[in-house]
Amino acid sequence: MVETAPLNSRPFVFDTEFDDAGSVVRPSAFRPTKRAYMPAEVEALVAQARLEAREAALAEIESLSAMALSAIGQVVAMAAPALNQVAHQHREHAADLALAAARVIAAAALDHLPTGPLQSALETLGQEIDASPRLVVRASGLDEAARNRIQALCIDSGFSGLVAFRDDPALPVAAFQLEWADGRADFDPAAAADRIATALRSALAAEAGHAESLDHGGQH
């Protein structure tokens, strides 16, 4: 009995086309799988695979680097206001520390030489009080020695009129009030320190506002 192959079986497939003369019109697209390679071919394939892997790795690294830089930029942009605030607070604390140190140093200096500010004032006001017939000096602790020192300071400053003293225990050390015919001057170490602190804080506040405006301008 002769067995016939199923109708859908194709044991042999020829996709090469020939013309009537036997010439190839369309070659076959079939390429057998190569199962054996020469050492040089293996080395070339390995080198090509390494090159492709390296290029893929570099491309991935570049992509990750770009993503990391973008994330860093976003974090820096978000942290900038906080960093500005921290820097401003640091400047404020440094200014407060400097003011506190200055107060301690100034207090020690004034305790050692309480007539120092009065001497400076008399030297500055020498021309204004020179023509006045009378100068009133109001201060605390005006004992005989202090009055003699102040009298000498007035003479050294060019004042030749009458010096009248008013002892005021309510005034702090080195504070004084001067009164003459057409003017008046006073000095209070605590008030002077407060004015310096106010001016410094105003300067810091103005600087903080300027920095903030620069930040906003950079974002636009």
pLDDT in tens, 101-125: 888 887 787 777 788 888 888 888 8
pLDDT higher than 60, residue 4: no
User: What is the four-CA torsion angle of 137, 141, 142, 147, rounded to 10 degrees?
Assistant: -100
pLDDT, tens digit, 9 for 90 and up, residues 57-98: 888 888 888 888 888 888 878 877 777 787 778 888 888 888
pLDDT higher than 70, residue 25: no
**The pair of three-digit structure tokens given for residue 80, joined into one six-digit string:** 């900038």
CB 158 within 8 A of CB 129: no
| Helix/strand/coil for 147 | helix
Q: What is the pTM of this model?
A: 0.50
Return the DSSP state at 11.
Answer: S
* Residue 150: closest CA among 167, 161, 134, 163: 163
Quick one: pLDDT band at residue 137, thresholds 50, 70, 90?
Answer: very high
Helices (H) and strands (E) in the chain, counts: 5, 6
Quick one: pLDDT band at residue 20, thresholds 50, 70, 90?
Answer: low
Mean pLDDT of all residues in the chain?
79
Position 73 scores a pLDDT of 83
| Helix/strand/coil for 114 | coil
- Residue written as token pair 């067995």: 3
Give the number of C-alpha atoms closer than 13 A to the C-alpha of residue 167, restricted to the C-beta side. Answer: 7
Sheet holding 176-180, edge to edge: 162-167, 134-139, 176-180, 183-187
pLDDT, tens digit, 9 for 90 and up, residues 203-218: 888 877 654 443 444 4
d(CA 204, CA 199): 9
Position 179 scores a pLDDT of 92
